[in-house]
Amino acid sequence: MFGPVLLAAARSDGIRRLVSSAPVTRPVVDRFVAGERLEPCIRTVRSLTARGLDVTLDHLGEDTTDRLEALRNRDAYLALAHALAAEGLGARAEMSVKLSAFGQALPDGGHDVALANVRPVVEAAAESGTTVTLDMEDHTTVDSTLAVLAEMRRTFPQTGAVLQSYLLRTEDDCRALAGEGSRVRLVKGAYKEPASVAYQHKTEVDRSYVRCLKILLSGRGYPMVGTHDPRMVTIAQELARRLGRKHDEFEFQMLYGIREGEQLRLAAEGHRMRVYVPYGTDWYGYFMRRLAERPANLGFFLRSLATRG
């Protein structure tokens, strides 16, 4: 019942100021965000990869309507790509990009601005021995994001996509993106969407997720199974076994700070387990969506308020 409220709060400037100023917030955010600057983030990457986990990195920022801010976000990713190359981490750490941070949300020419800003990041990633996955945001951005993906894949076919099973269109998108070598991360979705475009009940979203999993695992691409749901993990493992998928022909992905024991268990079983690691100062929207996704996350935050307030 709190999910829709928290998702609405994620875009509220007033609640942003209230939450950000609370003394208890910072220690709780640190559970889900690997620091505000690049250096602590790289230390986190080193620690995770030393434990047998792979990583995808997200420099936090979204919904910018300022062209200079979009350029600053671009430059942050360029610095990240160079740092990964310097550390020799390109084979273990990729980058996840929200196009709204690159100007997609600009009222005039946002699509073209985002395309122009993301191109040098994808190029720098390739030079650093890694790649980029384009995060998916709310349903209004899907067509633009997939168009940018198609453009990037002309030169960099390893560029990844994200699809969300709660959208009614996603099964068709899975079929379109299940081709040879296509990297697709499947998630359930974390934005508040209307019934005209998205399933509204968990059981419907779960069933869609399984249908999409079957499409991707039956295809010729490289599925990235983004879920913390134990049942979905088991279903993915069984589908992969039934379809003859080897452990290196798909991977699991989970968020930094959530189900860490399960992440290590899957890695120990020989699965590629990739941790989604966000960092940066613009953590509020990401943090609120994490609270909305799982009651356990909200409970963790509320317990911290009670014990530290």
74 is catalytic: no
Tell which residue, 164, 275, 250, has the closest CA to residue 212: 164
Half-sphere exposure of 280 (CA within 13 A, CB side): 22
CB atoms under 10 Å from CB of 31, counted, come to: 15
Provide the H-helix boundaries in 33-66: 38-50
Query: Cα(91)–Cα(114) distance, rounded to whole angstroms?
Result: 26
Query: Cα(89)–Cα(93) distance, rounded to whole angstroms?
Result: 6
Query: Cα(130)–Cα(32) distance, rounded to whole angstroms?
Result: 23
Query: Cα(222)–Cα(288) distance, rounded to whole angstroms?
Result: 30
Q: Which of 92, 153, 185, 290 is catalytic?
A: 185
13 is catalytic: no
Q: Which amino acid is at 176?
A: A
Strand, helix or coil at 262?
Answer: helix
CB atoms under 10 Å from CB of 199, counted, come to: 21
Q: Which of 54, 135, 173, 282 is catalytic?
A: 135
Helices 67-87 + 38-50 axis angle, to 10 = 40
Dig out the tokens for 14 from the structure.
Answer: 């007033």
Asked whether 178 and 216 are in contact (CB, 8 A), the reply is: yes
Q: Alpha carbon 123 to chain centroid distance?
A: 20
Q: Alpha carbon 25 to chain centroid distance?
A: 22
Going through 70-203 in order, the beta strands assigned E by DSSP cover: 93-97, 132-134, 160-164, 183-187
The angle formed by the CA atoms of residues 62, 147 and 276, to the nearest 5 degrees, is 45
Catalytic residue list: 135, 185
